[in-house]
Structure 1
Amino acid sequence: MRINEIISTKRKELGFTQEQVATYLNVSTPAVNKWESGKSFPDISLLPALARLLKTDLNTLLSFQEDLSDLEIATFANELGDDIFKNEFGSIYEKAIAKIREFPNNDRLKYTLVTILLGAINFNEPSNKEEYLSELNELLIQCVDSKDLQISNFALHMLAINACRAENYQEAEEYLNKIVDFSIDKEVLEVTILSNEKKYDAALEKLETKVLAEAVKIQNLMMQSVNLLAEVERYEEAEYFFNTLKKYTECFNLMPTNAYLAEYRIAVKKQDKARAIAAFTKVIENMTKPWNLEGSILYANVKFKENSLFANNQIKAIISALEKDEELAFIRDTPEFKEIMEKFK
C-alpha cells in the first residue's frame, strides 16, 4: 500500500476521525484529507508523531518495500502504453508519476516511464504540453545521476533530442558531450572467452546478436541520410542512398518497413503522388506482417522471444499523426490515400 492508503486504513482501524488526527498533529483537517486522497504528503517532521498515533513504524508508514524487477517494470510500462489510446494524457501522467513516487530510487523505472510519456504527449497533445515537457525533462536530469551508466547515457541522449527539438542546439551539444563512450567492445571480449571455453553455440549467438544490432544501427543511419538529402533537395544522392539501403536491408534481413519509409520521404519531398501512395502502402502493409528472423542463416543461433510485429494501436497512432501532417496535403484528398487510411484505421 502507498502512504495515503496506510494512513487512511490505520486511522479507520483505530477509530480516529480525520479531525482527531489533525488535532493531534496540530494541522488542519483538509490537510489530513489531502494526505489520504494522495494529493499531498505529510511533512517529514510529522512522520514520527503520525507513526506513533497510528501505532505503526516509519518503514510501514512510508511503505518501504523491495525494488521492482525488470519484469515488473516492463509489465507496468506495457499497461501504461495501452492507456495512451484509451485515456487523457493527464490521467496517464498521474499514474506514471504515482509509480515513480512509490519507487523514487528506481532509475530504470523512471527513465522507462518518462520515455513512454514523451511519446504519449505527442499523440495526445495536452493543452499544457510545455509544462509537462518541462517536468519530464527534470525527471530525465535526475536519471543522468544514475549509478547505472546505461541509464545515464540514455537520459543524456533523450535530453539532447528534446533540446534539439526545442532548437536549443548548444544545450543539446552539451548533453551529448557528457555521454560516456567506451572504446572497449565488451561483446567481442565475451565472444573470445566463450570460444576459449569451447562454448561455440553461445559465442555464435552473441556474435550474431551483435551483427544484428550493428546492422540496425547502420540501417537507421542510412535512413537519416536519405531524409536529410531529400530535405535539402539533393535527390540524386538521396535515391542512391535509398537503393543502397534497400539492398542492405535485404542482405541483413532487416525490417523492410524502414527502407520503404525512406522512399516515402523522397516521394513526399518531390510531391510525387503515385510513388508516395505506393511507398506509404508498403510501409503500412509491412507493419502488419511479422518481422521473422528465425529462418535467417545470419542469425541462426539467436534465440528470438517472439516475432516483431507492430501492434494495431501503434499503426492507428501513426495513421492519426499522418492525417494531421501538413506535408501530405497534396495526396490527402486522393481516393487511393483515403482508401488506405480507412483500411488501416
Structure 2
Amino acid sequence: MEHFQFATKLATKRKELGVTQEQVAQYVGVSKAAVSKWEKGQSYPDITLLPKLATYFNVTIDALLGYEPQMTTAHMRKIYAELAEKFNKHRFAEVQQEMEELLAEYYACFPFLLQMAQLYLNYYKRADEPIVVLQRVDELCQRIVEHCSDVKVIYEAEMLQAYVKLEQGQFEQVLEILGEEARMQYGTEILVSVALSMRGEHEKAKEVLQVSMYQHMLGIVNSATNSLQYEIDNPTYFDETIHRVEALLQLFSIGKLNMNAGLVFYLQAAAGYMQQQQQQKALAMLKKYCDLCLQLKFPIELRGDQYFYLLDDWITQNIHLGAQAPRDEQSIKRDLLASITKQPIFGAALQDKELQKMLHKVAKHLQLKEEMR
C-alpha cells in the first residue's frame, strides 16, 4: 500500500460529500472507529468493501485508493533520472530491485516499461550477470509488442529488442524483427504538412517539416558513420565519406544540435584510420573529438537551434525522456574520456604529446582530472 493514498482520498471525498464518519460506517456496515482508523492510515478496509465505498463516493476503486496504474510523462522522466543517478552511486543489484518493484506496480504502463528497458540497456554491463539483464529487457519489449496498442511505442520496443539480439549475437532474430531490406521512404511528412496547412495549422505544418529534416539529417550522419567500418579496405570511399559528413556537421551545426552524432562519427573515423595504419589522420579525428568534448555543457539536453526553431516542443512531446540525457552525468563524462584512453586501438595514438595535452584539457573540463593520473 506504499504508493496508495487511501486515507487522504477517503477523508477528502467524505468532506466533499458533507457526510460524517458515522454515516460512512453505517453505509458499509462497520463501526465509526473503523472509518476513523482508515482516515488516519492506521488500517485499511476489507477488500470486499472497496466496491461499496467507491460507489458511495461515486469514484473508481483506483481513484479511491489514490492508485494510478498509468504514470504521467513527467513522473516517468523524473523516476528515470533518479534511477540513472542511483546507478552511478549504488550497486547495480540495489537499483535493479527498485526498478523491478516499480515494474511490478506499473506493469500495464507500456511507455514506462519501455523507459525501464532503455535504462537497463544503458547500464546492464555493470550487472554481475549482464546476460540475465539483457533477457529481462527482451521480456519487457516482448510484453510491449504483444499487449500495447500504441504503434510508436511498439516500434521503439522492437528497436530495443533488435539491439538486445545483436548484443547476444542473434543476428538472424534481428533480421526477423526488422527485415533484411532498407525501408522505402515515402515522404509522408510532406503530405501531412500540406494537409495541416490547408486546415490552417501553418505552424504545425512547419514543425512537421523541420522535424523531418532533422531526423533525415541525423539519419544520414548515423548511416555514414556506421558505413565506415565496412569501407576500411576502400580508402577513397572512406575519405570521401568523412569529407561529406564533416561538411554536413558544419553546415547544420550538428555538433551543437546532437553532440553524440558528432562524437561517435569522429571516434569511428579515428578507429578506421588506425586500422588503415594512417595514424596522423586518426590523430586529426581524435583531436576533433576532443574539441567537441570541450564544447559540452552540462546537463546535456537535446535542443533545437535558430534554424530548427520548432524542434523543442516536438522533443518534449514525442521523445519519452524529453530533452534529458539517457544516462547520469558522471557516467557520460567518464565514458567520453574512456572512449579514447581505454580503447586498445588508440594505444599508439595516445603517445602523441599534443593529443595527451588535449585529453588533459578534456579531463579538466569534465572535472575528471583523477582519470588522467
TM-score normalized with structure 2 length: 0.67
AA in 1 matched with 2:94: S
Shift of 1:215: 1.0
Contact 1:246 / 1:259 at 8 angstroms: preserved in 2?
no
Q: Counterpart amino acid of 1:113? A: M
Report the counterpart of residue 142 of structure 1 in structure 2: 143
Is the 8 Å Cα contact of residues 137 and 161 (structure 2) preserved in structure 1? Answer: no
The aligned counterpart of 2:55 is none
Q: 5+ unaligned residues in a row in structure 2: which ranges?
A: 7-42, 52-60, 256-261, 297-301, 317-322, 369-373
| Counterpart mapping for 1:123-138 below 5 A | 124=126, 126-138=127-139
CA RMSD of aligned residues (A): 3.6
Q: Secondary structure at the match of 2:108?
A: coil
Q: Which residue of 2 aligns with 1:91?
A: 94
Compared with structure 1, are the counterparts of its residues 74 and 91 closer, same or farther at alpha carbon in structure 2 (3 Å cutoff)?
same
The aligned counterpart of 1:252 is: 252
Query: What letter corresponds to residue 128 of structure 1 in structure 2?
Result: E
SS of match in other structure, 1:85: helix
The letter for the 2-side match of 1:168 is Q
Mapping for residues 178-257 of structure 1, pairs under 5 Å: 186-230=188-232, 233-255=233-255, 256-257=262-263
TM-fit CA distance, 1:190: 2.7
When residues 276 and 120 of structure 1 are mapped into structure 2, their CA distance, relative to the original with a 3 A threshold, is same
Partner of 2:75: 72
2:108 pairs, out of 85, 105, 109, with 105
- The residue aligned with 1:15 is none
Match of 1:165 among 143, 164, 167: 167
Cα 1:91–1:314 change in 2 (3 A) is same
Deviation per CA, 1:42-66: give whole Å up to 9, x if none: xxxxxxxx98768974957997425
Report the 3-state secondary structure (helix = DSSP H, G, I; strand = E; otherwise coil) of the residue aligned with 2:192: helix
Q: Secondary structure at the match of 1:84?
A: helix
Q: Could you tell me which amino acid in structure 2 is paired with residue 112 of structure 1?
A: Q
Contact 1:77 / 1:113 at 8 angstroms: preserved in 2?
yes
Aligned residue type for 2:172: Q
Unaligned runs of 5+ in 1: 7-49
Is contact 2:114–2:157 with CA below 8 Å preserved after alignment? yes
> Residue 95 of structure 2: SS of its match in structure 1?
helix
1:282 aligns with 2:288: yes
In the alignment, residue 242 of structure 2 is paired with which amino acid?
F
Report how far residue 261 of structure 1 moved.
3.4
Q: What is the SS of the residue equivalent to 2:133?
A: helix
Contact 1:249/1:259 (<8 A) preserved: no
Question: Structure with the greater relative contact order (CA < 8 A, sep ≥ 6): 1 or 2?
Answer: 2
Describe the superposition over 1:138-190 as per-residue Cα deviations: whole angstroms up to 9, x where unpaired: 122112122111221222222222222322222221122499x7976553333
1:315 aligns with 2:326: no
Cα offsets for 1:182-215 (capped at 9, x unmatched): 9765533331122213433332232122111111
Counterpart code for 2:283: I
* 1:85-108 deviation per Cα after TM superposition (whole angstroms, max 9, x unaligned): 222221222222221112110111
> Which residue does the alignment assign to 2:306?
295
> Residues of 1 paired with 2:47 and 2:249: CA distance?
64
State the match for 1:9 in structure 2: none
Indicate the residue corresponding to 1:115 in structure 2.
Answer: 118
Q: Which residue of 2 aligns with 1:31?
A: none
CA contact (8 A) 1:191 1:203 kept: yes
SS at match of 2:239: helix
| Partner AA of 1:236 in structure 2 | T
**TM-score calculated relative to the size of structure 1:** 0.71
After the TM superposition, which segments of 4 or more aligned residues of structure 1 sit over 6 Å from their partners?
3-6, 50-56, 60-63, 181-184
Cα shift readout 1:91-139 (whole Å, capped 9, x = no counterpart):
22222222111211011111111111111123x2x33222222222212
> Residue 221 of structure 1: CA displacement?
0.8
Q: 1:325 aligns with which of 339, 343, 356?
A: 343
